[in-house]
Amino acid sequence: MTNLLNYPLTETSQFQDVAQRIRRHVLRMVNTARSSHIGTAYSMTDLLAVLYGSVLNIDPTQPDWPDRDRFILSKGHGCTALYASLAERGFFPLDWLETFYQNGSPLVGHTTHSHVPGVEVSTGSLGHGLSIASGMALAAQRDNRKHRVFVILSDGECDEGSTWEALLFAGHQKLDNLVAIVDYNKIQSLGRVEDVLDLEPMADKWRAARWAVREIDGHDITQIQDVFASLPFEPGKPNCVIAHTVKGKGVSFMENDLLWHYRSPDPDEYAKAMQELGE
């Protein structure tokens, strides 16, 4: 059995094992909490498995190590997958996950740094993460420090004006130590992105703001590994990874369905999902 304590992972099957473990944690958490956002957690689970499995230069025994890579989950509603990744990586005990969303738990329903080792930044209101990440990247650039700053954005939060303020800024400041990953699952809160507020041509917009852009299948472990292995994409440009993903990825009846932004599973659905996730 693979978990992130076997860090760094190398084999595709190891990352896939870990991703399924994270998905099972998330399903248990959502099921207990009766609070969903499961689809948004699943669309980025494979990305997190690779980031926490091999890419991020971090140390669970020293969460505040100054030279660590920073990771910000700007789409804070996907916190279950982040909490599970951090627990798997050893930042805190796995049994904390059972307390998610419960009264008095440190694991709040949107990503919080307070009392949770390994979480850099609290989020939950969309459109904040890229600015904070840019500030961190600028500070690192000016202090000539070598760590990198990663941030995962949702497609929906690319509606926010503040995201575009930060996007222009990072390109202008040539923050090539900054990596923005768009979890482009094509579904936002009330419908399909193309129907609510179309972001296309997405890659061209980032390129126009002087970012180096790569597009990948956000569920293909090899593509995810390769894209992060080629950082920085171009000297003097911030890095954008547009990860084409499927909302609810991993559970057949949740995939690509807006309903699972909100819905918690009933007992039959829970059993069926758990079975599909390999338990």
Query: In terms of CB distance, is 16 or 189 closer to other proteins?
Result: 189
Residue 78 DSSP one-character state? G
Q: Which of 125, 189, 256, 264 binds other proteins (CB under 8 A)?
A: 125
Does 64 contact other proteins by CB under 8 A? no
Report whether 84 contacts 70 (CB < 8 A).
Answer: no
Tell me the closest approach of the beta carbon of residue 130 to other proteins, in angstroms. 8
- We find the least distance from the C-beta atom of residue 47 to other proteins, in angstroms, to be 21
Radius of gyration of the chain (CA): 17
CA separation, residue 183 to residues 142, 155, 180, 219, 241 (Å): 29, 6, 10, 11, 9
- Contacting other proteins within 127-166 (CB under 8 A): 127-128, 130-140, 142-143, 161-162, 165-166
Contact between 180 and other proteins per CB under 8 A: no
What is the token pair recorded at 205? 């917009």
Shortest gap between Cβ of 119 and other proteins (angstroms)? Answer: 11
User: What minimum distance in Å lies between the beta carbon of 161 and other proteins?
Assistant: 7
> How many residues touch other proteins (CB under 8 A)?
29
63 binds other proteins (CB under 8 A): no
Helical packing angle, 12-33 and 221-229, nearest 10°: 110
Binding flag, residue 120, other proteins (CB under 8 A): yes
Nearest CA-CA partner of 90 in 7, 187, 195, 197 = 7
Question: Does 197 participate in binding other proteins (rule CB under 8 A)?
Answer: no
Residue in 226, 127, 224, 243 with CA at minimum distance from that of residue 183: 243
Q: Which two tokens stand for residue 219?
A: 């569920």
User: Which chain residues interact with other proteins by CB under 8 A?
Assistant: 113-114, 120-125, 127-128, 130-140, 142-143, 161-162, 165-166, 168-169
